[in-house]
Amino acid sequence: MRLFEATQHFFNEAADQLAVHDSLRDLLSTPLREVQVQIPYETDAGNTACLVGYRVQHNRARGPMKGGLRYHPGVDLDEVRGLASLMTWKAAVVDLPYGGAKGGVVVDVAKVSERELERITRRFIDGIHDVIGPDVDIPAPDIGTDQRVMAWIMSQFNKYHGFNPGVVTGKAVEHYGIPGRAEATGRGAGILALKLMQRLNRDPRDTSVAVQGFGNVGSHVARFLSEAGCRIVAISDQYGARYAPAGLDIGQALRHVAQQKASINDLSEGSPISNEELLELEVDMLIPAAIGGVITEQNMSRIKASMIVEAANGPTSPAADRYLNARGVAILPDILANAGGVTASYFEWAQNRQHYRWNLHRVRSELERTLTTAYDEVCAEADSRNVSLRLAAYMIGIQRVVFATSLDGMS
């Protein structure tokens, strides 16, 4: 099942419970705007190449639309559409004044130079600058994009519209960003993972964890949980995974990846396993933190973890979600588990607009407060209605968007 269909499935399940009227359901299921642009750019060899980029804006009932920008060869319109709708529900669950959007470019960042990546980004912004902006739609990092890409976006947007650091978040601290944004998604997932352990009366020091993906999100969640005493027994990137039942030295893995720009595959510690094997390990907690669609009907019966924290967007298919729920696996859904990123992005955007900057301590404590409030609300909803955490999170998000939409008027 494709991502948008899967997201719609979860949306419809929650909308059924809430008896959302059909007309509103149609409105909330249809993106506000979808833009596809051609990205012609000059290669380092002097040739002209052409890529495709997307920006999908799903809903703006609760505020300007917000969502990451993904550079990955697997990007397509359906995926971006699904990710945009996830952003609407995510911003609403953590009660941020945002709607949802997402963007993507079909490109393998490993196969283009830094200068080519800059030209691609600037041409992409040429194509979409008139539909984004600090009051309209604010991009942020996602797979394959980072603070350099955010800097180029801001610079190119400013050429058209003047100085506007709030047009994009996830910027470098030295360049209108805020301390704590880069770690926020992983740290947030880590904070919520500890809360889930607490809910299930588990001691972090007796908890083994496997993390798929060791990029921005995966590396920060692995570090946070390792510092909290958990045993991180497996980590991976797109090239492969490493497994050590006694636990991996995450500090060493971070230095390995940062200093040598090396792959997890080349780590000396642990034994090599595949990404598929990582998902099926005998661990207490599984944290998908890479791409979507990794827990499906094909492998669900072999998943052994009793807790899953969805740091990635859309890692679990509806069929696998149903099966694992029935088996009693506790799944912290993506729209809550990885909401730390958009929460810190909101702090960055608000500070850009005020020309004021918080210190790291304040960013971290506001992040924890915001996520803890949302987590407590989702758990209370799940317990009172006897539904899964995912269904509860969707129900809270949908109710907030429905309320704002009805106040806004539908025509």
Among 270, 293, 341, 397, binds ligand NAD (CB under 6 A): 341
Stretch that binds ligand NAD, among 26-34, 135-143, 320-328, 403-411 (CB under 6 A): 135-143
Whole-number minimum distance, CB 397 to ligand NAD, in Å? 15
- Using DSSP bridges, classify how beta strands 137-141 and 65-71 pair: parallel, antiparallel or unpaired: parallel
Q: Pick the catalytic residue: 90, 102, 195, 304?
A: 102
x/- string (CB under 6 A) for ligand NAD, residues 207-226? Answer: -----xxxxxxx--------
CB 181 within 8 A of CB 192: no
Q: Which of 57, 59, 85, 313 binds ligand NAD (CB under 6 A)?
A: 313
Distance between CA atoms of 10 and 27, rounded to whole angstroms? Answer: 16
Q: Write out the DSSP string of 237-248.
A: ETTEEEE-TT--
Q: Where are the alpha helices (DSSP H) in 45-76?
A: none
- Give whichever of 31 and 139 is closer to ligand NAD, judged by the CB atom: 139
Cβ-closest position to ligand NAD: 215
| Residue 171 is among the residues annotated as catalytic for this protein | no
Rg of the Cα trace of the chain? 20
Q: Which of residues 137 and 237 has its CB atom nearest to ligand NAD in the complex? A: 237
Of 24, 26, 83, 38, give the one whose Cα is nearest residue 56: 83
Instruction: Kindly state the smallest distance separating residue 410's Cβ from ligand NAD, in Å.
Output: 30
Q: Compare residues 236 and 370 and give the one whose CB is closer to ligand NAD.
A: 236
Strands (E), 150-284: 208-212, 231-237, 240-243, 271-273
SS3 content of the chain, % helix, strand, coil (to 5): 50, 20, 30
Question: Partners of 71 in the beta sheet?
Answer: 105
85 binds ligand NAD (CB under 6 A): no
Rank residues 275 and 351 by Cβ distance to ligand NAD and give the closer one.
275
Sequence-distant (≥ 6) Cβ neighbours of residue 362 within 8 angstroms: none
Q: Which of 250, 312, 320, 402 binds ligand NAD (CB under 6 A)?
A: 312
Least distance (Å) between residue 14 CB and ligand NAD:
20
How far, in Å, CA of 364 to CA of 230, rounded? 20
**Minimum distance from CB of 297 to ligand NAD (Å)?**
18
Residues 9-68 that bind ligand NAD (CB under 6 A): 68
CB closer to ligand NAD out of 140 and 324: 140
Q: Which is nearer to ligand NAD, 3 or 51 (CB)?
A: 3
Q: Which residues contact 68 (CB under 8 A, 6 or more apart)?
A: 83, 87, 102, 103, 139, 140, 141, 142, 145, 341
Q: Give the footprint of ligand NAD on this chain (CB under 6 A).
A: 68, 141-144, 185, 212-218, 236-238, 275, 289-291, 311-313, 338, 341
The catalytic residues are 102
